[in-house]
Chain A
Amino acid sequence: MRAALIIAAKDLKVELRSKEMLSAMFLFSLLIVLAFRFGFSNAVNPGAAGLPELASSALWICFSFAAILGMYTSFAKEKDRETLDGLLLAPVDRSDLYLGKALSNLIVVFFVDLLSIAFFALFFSFDYGGQALAVVALALLGSVTLVLVGTLVAAISVNTRAREVLLPILLIPLIAFSVIVPSVTATKNAMVGGIGDSVQQIESVAAFAAIFAVLGYLTFDFVLEG
């Protein structure tokens, strides 16, 4: 467990020095929200009644794609700079490596989630109406699940040709019902002040987080072997 924290700290330190991924993801989430703003400019006026539905969907598309970008980079970078071998030679359990990577990914992804939530309010003149905290909490929960499965799948895809295409192909179907659909519903309910209606959705996302964590913990070893 300590090893996991050290690996996460290492990743974050590298990131804070280069700010490569953070700046890319900052722009990426900015542009996704902007793309939604332009794309839906005829469909919604600020303050329109359907805005919570649009907002929750748009936010989760934004979270998912930004997370895919972030998780892809976290392994691709190690592979390209040939630091992955060093990491694998380090005397730590591979499962700790998984948890460490997932933790550093989570921090970066969650940071981008916060940015997107803010950008959305800004560009759509959207008022979270005192529910911003609930939206943030749901983003955190969904991101935990996303990152737990995403880190494993990113490690799978980094072994392949065409890895940047393959990651979304492998990941999106897996997160469709484990993260995106329940989170979108829960976020929409939260935005209209009824987070209490989404107990089942929240339970389901949390249950998938547990399933993915166990699977990742048990199988990560095999993915990065050799």
Chain B
Amino acid sequence: MRMDRKKLGTILVVVSVVLILMTVYLAVFFAPLPQTGVKSAGEILSSVEGSKLKVAGFVSAVYSIHFGMLDGPDEVIFSLADFRDYGRYLQANATHSLNQQWWTVRPIDIKSISGGLNSRMGPNLGGVIVVGANLSMDGIVTSNTIAPNSNVTGFSLSSGSGNDITFGSVGSFGLMTAPVAQKIFYFHMPSAWACYLSFGVTLVGSALFLRTRDHKYDRVAYSSAEIGIVFATIAITTGPVWAKQEWGVYWRWDDMKLVTTFVLWLVYIGYLSLRAAISEPSAKARVSAVYGILSFITVPMSFLSSRVAPLLQSSHPQVIATSSGSLSPQAGMTIGIAVVAFTVLFITMLIKRVEIAEAEEELEELKRKIGDEE
């Protein structure tokens, strides 16, 4: 049995190394660069003003789009105004027609929301679009208040008040200033996925431990949490590397995706601190299992960070969309392989970490025996 597991471990190590190298190769040589270019805000806006707006976005598993409606199930009326310049990225606030206090309002009708949506709609109901959906909508852009000289590379729409349509993908003229930096996305998004997966395993392991009191589940739970922190660290450090190039800043506190993921990271650091602060093994397993379950609430908070807490502006999904508004097949294939690679890597690391945990416990046991004999 033990021998078989060792063999499996070796195979997994080889497979994950191959997959990671393949991801690197595809990301560097195969995935196309997004379009690049800088326009002045005035240039973009004059081309936008009065024109029909079509915003399309590809939504992947990690980057959900959320929207809600106030006026009724059939129609959302909002305006596009108050463009704000965030570094080199232009962001527009869309607001609901009743809520006029901040800017001039001339309405846009959203004509269609199409694609493979899986959403619930209705007054005050949020909708969540799941994996692989395409979202597009039409409208007329009518007002803006940005300084026309600032240089921008695209724009996104997001909610002004938290009550309206909220989404954040690059519009049809999304151009990136740092197309090469975008390649980090093929490692950033899969690490975020792997960290959600790890913390999910921690949740399941913790719950199973409390149910069965079998310490093997506890070992899986904390091993997975440790690995999850590694992946979360990769996600929250690769993000800023890209952001500095694209947005001109490393971090944006107004982007909820960033902030909630940071909090997620802190919570699981807390989980490990908790374990370190209890010496008695069964109490350690029991108490940290409860916290391991409680901590998991931060995962959906980060994952769905546009609706769960209601403050929520996130222009984070910008990176998903290339200029055409959806991932090209090559980019899609690269990201697919990257996700598989990181998943296999996670499984490999988990198996290895659990083996180490078993060895550690065995060692403790032996030490105790020696101590008893003396």
Residues of A within 8 A of B (CB): 149, 152-153, 156-157, 159-163, 166, 169-170, 173-174, 176-178, 181-182, 185, 197, 199-201, 203-204, 208, 211, 215, 219, 222-223, 225-226
Chain B neighbourhood of A201, CB < 8 A? 162, 310-311
A145 to chain B: closest CB distance in Å? Answer: 12
Query: Beyond A169-B270, A182-B309, A204-B309, is A161–B286 a contact (Cβ under 8 Å)?
Result: no
- B273 touches which of A166, A174, A182, A215 (Cβ 8 Å): A166
* Given A156-B274, A177-B263, A181-B309, 7 additional A-B pairs, CB 8 A: A200-B162, A201-B311, A215-B297, A223-B286, A223-B287, A223-B290, A225-B286
Chain B neighbourhood of A176, CB < 8 A? 263
A22 to chain B: closest CB distance in Å? Answer: 28
B interface SS class: helix
Please report the number of residue pairs spanning A and B whose Cβ atoms sit closer than 8 angstroms. Answer: 91
Q: How far is the CA of A197 from the CA of B273 in the complex (A)?
A: 39
Q: Do residues A204 and B287 form an inter-chain contact, with CB atoms below 8 A? A: no
Q: How far is the CA of A181 from the CA of B309 in the complex (A)?
A: 8
22 pairs, CB–CB < 8 Å, chain A vs chain B: A156-B287, A157-B274, A159-B283, A160-B274, A160-B277, A166-B270, A166-B277, A170-B274, A173-B298, A174-B267, A174-B297, A177-B263, A178-B309, A181-B311, A182-B311, A200-B163, A204-B308, A215-B294, A215-B297, A219-B210, A222-B290, A226-B286
Query: Which 3 A-B residue pairings sit nearest by Cβ, starting from the closest?
Result: A200-B310, A160-B277, A173-B266
Chain A neighbourhood of B267, CB < 8 A? 173-174
Chain A neighbourhood of B279, CB < 8 A? 161
Which residue on chain B has the smallest CB distance to residue A194? B101
A189 to chain B: closest CB distance in Å? Answer: 10
Q: How far is the CA of A176 from the CA of B297 in the complex (A)?
A: 12
A203 to chain B: closest CB distance in Å? Answer: 8
Q: Do residues A160 and B278 form an inter-chain contact, with CB atoms below 8 A? A: yes
Q: How far is the CA of A160 from the CA of B288 in the complex (A)?
A: 11
Q: How far is the CA of A199 from the CA of B279 in the complex (A)?
A: 45
Which residue on chain A has the smallest CB distance to residue B302? A177
Chain B neighbourhood of A182, CB < 8 A? 309-311
Q: Do residues B298 and A174 form an inter-chain contact, with CB atoms below 8 A? A: yes
Chain B neighbourhood of A226, CB < 8 A? 282-283, 286
Chain A neighbourhood of B294, CB < 8 A? 149, 152-153, 174, 215, 219
Interface check B161, CB cutoff 8 A: yes
Chain A neighbourhood of B308, CB < 8 A? 177, 204
Interface check B291, CB cutoff 8 A: yes
Chain A neighbourhood of B283, CB < 8 A? 159, 226
Chain B neighbourhood of A225, CB < 8 A? 286
